[in-house]
Amino acid sequence: MSEEISLKQILTEPQTLDELRIPQSLVMDLIFRLLYNEGTVALSRFTEILKIPKGLIDDVLLWMQKEHLVEISKASIELGRLGNVYSLTDAGQERARGSLERSQYIGPVPVSLPYYNRGIILQCQRHQRVTMQQVKHALRDLVLPDEFHRQIGPAINNGTSLFLYGPPGNGKTTIAMAIAALLSGSDPIWIPYSIAAGGQVIQIHDRLVHKPATLDRMKTPDLGRIDQRWQLIERPAVTVGGELKMESLDLRFDPTSRFYESPLQLKANGGMFLIDDFGRQQISPKDLLNRWIVPLEAAIDYLRLQTGQTISVPFRQLIVFSTNLQPRELVDDAFLRRIHMKVGVLPPDEKLFYQIFFLMSRKVGIEFNREAFLHLLQKWYREPGRRLQAVHPRDILNILLTICDYENSKPKMAPELIDEACKSYFVD
């Protein structure tokens, strides 16, 4: 495929079977399976499921009809061939069963791997650009040091990797989610429902990750009639925690359905991949380093099919690692060097803690009491040497609300209620 091909050419609706750029046998197999599953299928139904023009489907059906694999079960006088309803012949039933033994995938016709790769690269060749005002707005619900946004903004614009570290309860995950929301609100991205590689189908679309977006004709050049095998989505955000396993990062072949599901990083292409609570996954940091050392460096990932064939795909997403553990206890210098930006999300000082408590009390509807706050600070933090955490005000005030609700009294910040809430919250 020519490297000069444009995004408009990639997204243009195909006019011939050759322009699908996949073997015609893949289209026939999808027709066989759909007819076998549903019995009779109208041309409009084929178009709805396969996402290619009626004329192309009709060309294949005409050939299959001549080969006595399908027959017209209901004809339309008004619409001609475009109104026909089809069913399988006995010979077609046998071919359909053979097709189902190879794969049970029924869905949009896959896009060829080279065109997927080129489409993603073209849409990600420029890093997402966010302004200082956009970053400040995204972090508006968090009380952070004044210049904190200056660390996050460049990391987003750098667009490769970000390491958030620091003690628990200070907002690392919330900051990562704010970044994800910021990215999803930027320019949307086109992705195919599935791709074809080595004669196999790899499903990319995941309704939990890929949220449909609306094409803004004012901001997007006229692309003409769009190939419906591509969907316009918000920039995706994939989040994993302690459940992450090595197999989640490789192609997953379902032995029952006999097609592949894409790995998590492929679903995250064009958006963000957050590894939360890094260091506590079922995959060790060292194994993750070995798996991603090339993708992080070269922006290309290599995936292996069951046949042994290796395919290359773009690795174009903002990778965010978030950890409560000391970075140097997790990974070596080689890994840290490949993560371009490192940002410490550290405990608040007493001034910031005061601001958080004040804002949180207003949010939950409790009048702030300075005397009660100073009592909390002295008795429950300074005297025992307890570390301040940004999450504490929310939790303590919520417990205080629960206590007042139980005794059917008006919620208030009083030293005795603060003590009762803290006795329930802290473990000494």
Shared domain for 204 and 249, answered yes or no, is yes
Distance CA 353, CA 351 (A): 5
Q: Which long-range CB contacts under 8 A does 1-4 form with residues at least 24 apart? A: 1/114, 1/115, 1/118, 3/118
Checking if the pLDDT of 218 tops 60, the result is: no
Q: What is the pTM of this model?
A: 0.87
**Highest mean pLDDT range out of 31-40, 150-159, 233-242?**
31-40
Shared domain for 240 and 284, answered yes or no, is yes
Query: For the chain, percent helix, then strand, then coil, each to nearest 5?
Result: 45, 20, 40
Shared domain for 193 and 315, answered yes or no, is yes
pLDDT in tens, 293-349: 889 888 999 999 999 999 999 999 888 889 888 777 777 777 777 787 888 999 999
pLDDT in tens, 333-357: 777 777 878 889 999 999 999 999 9
Alpha helix positions (H), 216-332: 264-267, 285-298, 327-330
pLDDT in tens, 371-392: 999 999 999 999 999 999 999 9
Q: Are 54 and 82 in contact (CB under 8 A)?
A: yes
**Per the domain annotation, does 305 fall within a domain?**
yes
Tokens 């963000």 found at = 272
Residue 327 CA, distance from chain mean position: 25
DSSP-derived secondary structure for 312-348: EEE--SEEEEEESS-HHHH--HHHHHHS-EEEE-PPP
Residue at which a domain ends, from 295, 327, 344: 344
Q: Which domain holds residue 72?
A: 23-106
Shared domain for 98 and 80, answered yes or no, is yes
What's the DSSP call for residue 381? I
Shared domain for 301 and 329, answered yes or no, is yes
SS3 readout for 350-362: HHHHHHHHHHHHH
